[in-house]
Amino acid sequence: MAANTGDIENDSFLDEIASKIGTKSFRVGILLGLSPAELDALQYDYQDQGLVVMNTAMLIKWRDRGGQTSLELAQALWKIGLGRIAASVHPTAGFDDVGPSCINRGSKDISYEEFYRISTEANRNWQRLSIQLGVSSSEVDRIRSTTRDPVECCFRMLIAWYDMGDCSREKLANALSSINMGRIANSLR
């Protein structure tokens, strides 16, 4: 790497990492604690400037919140399968306690990180899950028009369900069980 390993204060270092994230920017952004709305705004703002510019803007937005570490970035990269890039960001990270702490979304007790984990496992069944959770077909169509990535679709659907207000870990676990995803459901109980 041209820049110092793990130097998240260096924009050229973040630019180099951004060039390697590719189309996984939404997943990285969520794991770094950016909201879907923030990521959508970045996508809109940088749509004509290319993926690397958008990814760099995302990483700078995350960094500029303050208190962020190269370990957090490395763990997010590791979780989405970019282990070599993660090691270049923070080579001493063992990734045994993978990931930053869950993002607390208040009293409903379900985090973005949990939604991401569920999305990576239930992505092929996201539309069936949406029916069980009562997400409207118009919302499902809107999500489908946003992205073709089933993991991102599942994640966005879970956020839409969460935003409906009447959600709980138990309801999500029951919906997952009803579509034969009992192992994931049990992890929520």
Indicate whether 81 and 134 sit together in one domain. no
179 located within any domain: yes
Cα separation of 188 and 32, whole Å? 22
Residues 62 and 125 in one domain: no
Evaluate whether residue 103 is within a structural domain. no
Residues 133, 69 share a domain: no
pTM of the model: 0.58
Q: Is residue 175 part of a domain?
A: yes
Q: Kindly state whether residues 76 and 119 are assigned to the same domain.
A: no
More reliable by pLDDT, 141 or 108: 141
CATH code, domain with 47: 1.10.533.10
Judge whether residue 126 has pLDDT over 50: yes
Read off the pLDDT of residues 13-39 as tens digits, 9 standing for 90 and up: 999 999 999 888 888 999 898 998 999
Residue whose entry in the numeric block shows the structure tokens 């962020």: 68
Q: Which residue has the higher pLDDT, 177 or 90?
A: 177
Domain boundary residue, one of 24, 58, 89: 89
Q: Residue 114 in contact with residue 125, Cβ under 8 Å?
A: no
Assigned domain for 101 exists: no
From residue 39, alpha-carbon distances to 24, 78, 136 in Å are 12, 20, 23
**Res. 109 pLDDT band, cuts 50 70 90:** low
From the list 48, 2, 54, the residue with the least C-alpha distance to 24 is 54
Whether residue 83 sits in one domain with residue 17: yes
Co-location of 37 and 80 in the same domain: yes
Q: Which domain holds residue 26?
A: 11-89
151-175: pLDDT as tens digits: 888 988 988 888 787 788 889 999 9
Report yes or no on 140 lying in a domain. yes
Residues 23 and 79 in one domain: yes
Most confident of 2-16, 48-62, 147-161: 48-62
Least confident range of 55-64, 111-120, 130-139: 111-120
List own/partner pairs for 33-42 with CB under 8 A and 24 or more apart: 33/62, 33/65, 33/100, 33/103, 33/112, 34/58, 34/61, 34/62, 35/112, 36/155, 36/156, 36/159, 40/146
**C-alpha count within 13 angstroms, C-beta hemisphere, residue 115:** 28
In a domain, 35, yes or no: yes
The pLDDT of residue 167 is 80
Q: Is residue 152 part of a domain?
A: yes
Quick one: 68 and 123 in the same domain? no
With CA atoms as reference, report the closest residue to 149 among 176, 129, 173, 120.
120
Q: Do 129 and 182 belong to one domain?
A: yes
**Token output for 58:** 């995302």
Q: Is residue 107 part of a domain?
A: no
Tally of domains within the chain: 2
